[in-house]
């Protein structure tokens, strides 16, 4: 069974999709894992990074997106979910015959509308709104879990908002990576997403959970090496588990996601960001849940 790794933060612009795609490439190329990216964000950035605009549009026309999957299979017994998955995506070359591969369940701008449709569909039944919401989330979670049979790692790229799909993903995830920019507003976002992930309501309750027991770790992203960043990271480290790996603000990362038809090695694609990505990859594969998956 795959391990489910969510990349989430309620704040936008912290690099969630970038980190999700970088990790997916790294797991497929460096540890030869079978990796699936599920794009739950209606911005669909992870999909665009992995198959380009045309590939994403084709997937939408063919009915092969996360919204189609939820809509088609919501009330049915899930079968042959692989029909929705685009295989061998991304622009990173793997060694010939290497088992590592990267697949994508593309995102859809219709996912938010679909959530409303599913709610309405179930509101006919004799249930209150909260119960319906729990039911829809629970079904989405089970539908996502079906992909666990065919992959070693499933990376869930979550949207910034709290859609049902995002909540289902957070509930399902074995571990959640929370990228953040070390600025004033980010600390509030981290505090809030931590409560959500750990299913507690107050900071005091959160403080009662040892770092080693938490389901999430925070990743400092877009670092430029200022004293302000150092200050804030030290403050955040009092309340949240932080990954030792950190990602600097690098032009090579921004450039890495210009869609390329030609395949490159990891080192070509990520250039001077490759060592930072390697550190992140190595550290995350050291997370017990993920290590178990790769054993």
Partner 1 sequence: MGKKTKALSGASQDAYFRRVLKTQLELKVEDRDRLVSKLREDIAQLRLRKHGSADSKPLPSPPPSAALPPPFDPFSPNVVVVVRTSGRDAALAALGRIDNAEHLRLLAREQRLTVSSDSSSVEDLRAAIVTAAERRIANRFAAAG
**Given the rule CB under 8 A, which residues bind partner 1?**
184, 187-188, 191-192, 195, 201-203, 227-228, 230-231, 234-235, 238
CA-angle at 196, arms to 190 and 198, nearest 5°: 100
d(CA 162, CA 57): 25
> Which CB sits closer to partner 1, 146 or 192?
192
In the bound complex, what is the minimum distance in angstroms from residue 274's beta carbon to partner 1?
13
CA–CA separation, 186 vs 58, rounded Å? 36
- Which lies closer to partner 1 via its Cβ, residue 142 or residue 199? 199
Are 4 and 293 contacting, i.e. CB atoms less than 8 angstroms apart? no
Pick the closer one to partner 1 by CB: 77 or 184: 184
Shortest CA distance to 125 belongs to which of 111, 139, 143, 144? 139
Beta carbon of residue 68, minimum distance to partner 1 (angstroms, whole number): 37
Residue 272 C-alpha from the chain's centroid? 23
The residue (of 98 and 203) whose beta carbon lies closer to partner 1 is: 203
Residue 29 backbone phi and psi in degrees, to 5: -85, -40
How near is the Cβ of 48 to partner 1 at its closest, in Å? 32
Neighbours of 95 (CB within 10 A): 10
Q: How far is the CB of 277 from partner 1 (least distance, A)?
A: 17
Tokens representing 86 are 């685009």
Cβ-based nearer residue to partner 1, 188 or 211? 188
Residues 6+ apart with CB under 8 A from 149: 1, 2
Least gap, CB of 61 to partner 1 (angstroms): 44
Q: Which residues of 11-47 are buried (b: 16+ CB within 10 A; e: fewer)?
A: beebbbbbbbbbbbbbbbbbbbbbbbbbbbbbbbbbb
CA 156-138-131 angle, to 5 degrees, is 135
For the CB of residue 237, give the shortest distance to partner 1 in the complex, in Å: 8
Task: Name the strand (E) or helix (H) holding 39.
Answer: strand 34-39
Shortest reach from residue 234's CB to partner 1, in Å? 5
Please identify, using beta-carbon distances, which residue of 63 and 241 lies nearer to partner 1: 241
């Amino acid at each position: 069974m795959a391990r489910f790794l969510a990349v989430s933060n309620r704040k936008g612009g912290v690099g969630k999709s970038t980190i999700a795609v970088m990790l997916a490439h790294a797991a497929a190329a460096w540890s030869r894992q079978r990796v699936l990216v599920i794009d739950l964000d209606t911005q669909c950035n992870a999909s665009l990074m992995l198959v380009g605009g045309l590939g994403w549009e084709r997937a939408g026309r063919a009915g092969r997106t996360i919204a189609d999957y939820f809509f088609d299979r919501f009330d049915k017994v899930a079968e042959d979910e692989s029909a929705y998955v685009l295989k061998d995506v991304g622009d990173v070359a793997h060694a010939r015959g290497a088992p590592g591969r990267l697949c994508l369940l593309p995102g859809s701008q219709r996912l938010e509308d679909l959530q409303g449709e599913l709610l309405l569909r179930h509101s006919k039944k004799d249930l209150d709104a909260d119960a319906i919401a729990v039911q829809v989330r629970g079904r989405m979670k089970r539908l996502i879990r079906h992909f666990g049979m065919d992959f070693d790692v499933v990376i869930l790229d979550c949207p910034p908002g709290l859609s049902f799909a995002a909540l289902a993903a957070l509930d399902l995830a074995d571990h959640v990576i929370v990228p953040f920019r070390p600025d004033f507003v980010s600390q509030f976002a981290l505090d809030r997403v931590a409560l959500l992930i750990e299913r507690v309501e107050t900071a005091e309750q959160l403080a009662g959970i040892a770092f080693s027991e938490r389901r999430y770790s925070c990743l400092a992203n877009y670092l430029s090496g200022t004293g302000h960043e150092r200050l804030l990271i030290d403050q955040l480290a009092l309340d949240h588990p932080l990954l030792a790996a950190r990602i600097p603000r690098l032009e090579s990362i921004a450039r890495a996601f210009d869609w390329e038809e030609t395949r490159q090695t990891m080192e070509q694609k990520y250039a001077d960001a490759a060592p930072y990505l390697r550190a992140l990859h190595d550290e995350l594969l050291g997370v017990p849940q993920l290590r178990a998956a790769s054993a």
